[in-house]
Amino acid sequence: MKKQLIVCTLLAAACKPGTPKQASITADIKGITDSIVRIMIPVADSSRMDSAVVTNGHFTWTGNIGQTEKIYIGAASRFIQLYMGNDEVKISGNIDSLESLAITGSPAQDEYKAFRASIKDITGQEDALYNNWEEAHKTDSGAAATEAKLEALRNQRHDRTVAYIRSHPASAISVSMLADMAVIGEYAPLDSLYKALDPTAQQSNAGKRLAKRLDILKRSAIGAQMMDFTQNDTNGKPVKLSDLKGKYVLLDFWASWCGPCRAENPNVLKAYNAFKDKNFTVVGVSLDDNADKWKAAIKQDAMPWIQLSDLKGWRNEVAQHYGIQAIPFSFLIDPDGKIIAKELRGSKLHETLAAILNNQKPAI
């Protein structure tokens, strides 16, 4: 009798109403050669990194996520992104075909999948253009045409995303997509979208992180005064940004290890040569932490303008202040030190500079 009482007591405790449900992932993914995968889960302003042992592509994980979050499962070659809370998720497929993975058990992931299907007409065209990238860029006209088409498609995708967020104000997917837009976006329209979210979404963990991100983006809003700063040039000489007051300055954030930055450098050089006699200059701010590699890249890419760095990598003082999370990135600053444009690359850089510098009033 006593033994039966103990068993019943244990069963009652296990089945007690209100026992927190945990998240779980059961995966069978062909092509994973890793012995361990990493699982990154956002927590407050940071993240928690868990791991799971992989055997012949199979692994399981159990833990607590709570509110719906965008989590990442990382293998050596690529990572899987998925939305889930404390759900029982199953994943199957091949690591070499992430778009075709079957992910079930998470309502939030189902919602995201439905949204992706709704913009397939746009993303399909983008994929086709990227697949033809090298061929199109064999000529200047081909490159310009491709960039124009991609820009138009990006604008369409952006408009669809904004419409989705406005029509799903309480959705965790809306919060996540808005956070993605806030990586490099402009403050005013993003703040407007944030204010349109349901209060429950704003007060979610992801919503609170987004609010903090917007506070940082406000510092670089169009019309805001650029922070004055001093960093050393390649000769170790301190250079102060305000010493260039009176000129239009393209503040270009890059790094020697950044492939897209190095690919964009010839375009910046072309713009510099075209407008350097029109009260315009470029100041490079490198997110390098190795002086030799930084200087070698400047020489290799033949960049004649001022180059600055505190050699702290991503912890660069200016990059940290403005919350720069992706490079290349740029600010265009007017003669009074105000930010008048940002994120200028490709043909957009030349068009913006031409519109401003070819029409500027002569100095008195």
Average pLDDT, the chain: 90
Q: How far apart are CA 156 and CA 120, in angstroms?
A: 12
Q: What is the pTM of this model?
A: 0.78
CB of 168 closer than 8 Å to CB of 162: no
Residues of the chain with CATH 3.40.30.10: 230-357
Q: What is the pLDDT of residues 44-54, one digit of tens each?
A: 777 889 999 99
Q: Per residue in 133-167, pLDDT tens?
A: 888 888 878 888 888 898 899 999 999 999 999 99
Tens of pLDDT, residue by residue over 210-232, are 999 999 999 999 999 999 999 99
Q: What percent of the chain has pLDDT over 70?
A: 93
Residue 228, number of CB atoms within 10 A of its CB:
11
pLDDT digit string (tens) for 195-210? 999 999 999 999 999 9
Which residue, among 263, 278, 223, has the nearest Cα to 345 in the 3D structure? Answer: 263
What span, in angstroms and rounded, lies between the C-alpha atoms of 71 and 46? 12
For CATH 2.60.40.10, the residue range(s) in the chain are 20-105
Structure confidence at residue 258 (pLDDT): 95
Give the pLDDT band of residue 20 (cuts 50, 70, 90): low
Tens of pLDDT, residue by residue over 292-302, are 999 999 999 99
Does CATH place domain 20-105 in 3.10.580.10?
no
Confidence category of residue 75, pLDDT binned at 50, 70, 90: confident
Judged against a pLDDT cut of 80, whether residue 233 lies above it is answered with yes
pLDDT value for 361: 60
Buried residues in 30-67 as b, exposed as e (16+ CB within 10 A): eebeeeebebbbbeeeeeeeeebebeebebebeeebee
CATH assignment of 230-357?
3.40.30.10
Q: What is the pLDDT of residue 5?
A: 44
In this predicted structure, the answer to whether residue 14 has a pLDDT above a threshold of 90 is no
For residue range 300-333, what is the model confidence (pLDDT) as tens digits? 999 999 999 999 999 999 999 998 988 999 999 9
Contacts 24+ apart (CB under 8 A), 73-81: 73/25, 73/27, 73/37, 73/38, 73/39, 73/40, 74/37, 74/38, 74/39, 74/40, 75/32, 75/33, 75/34, 75/37, 76/33, 76/34, 80/29
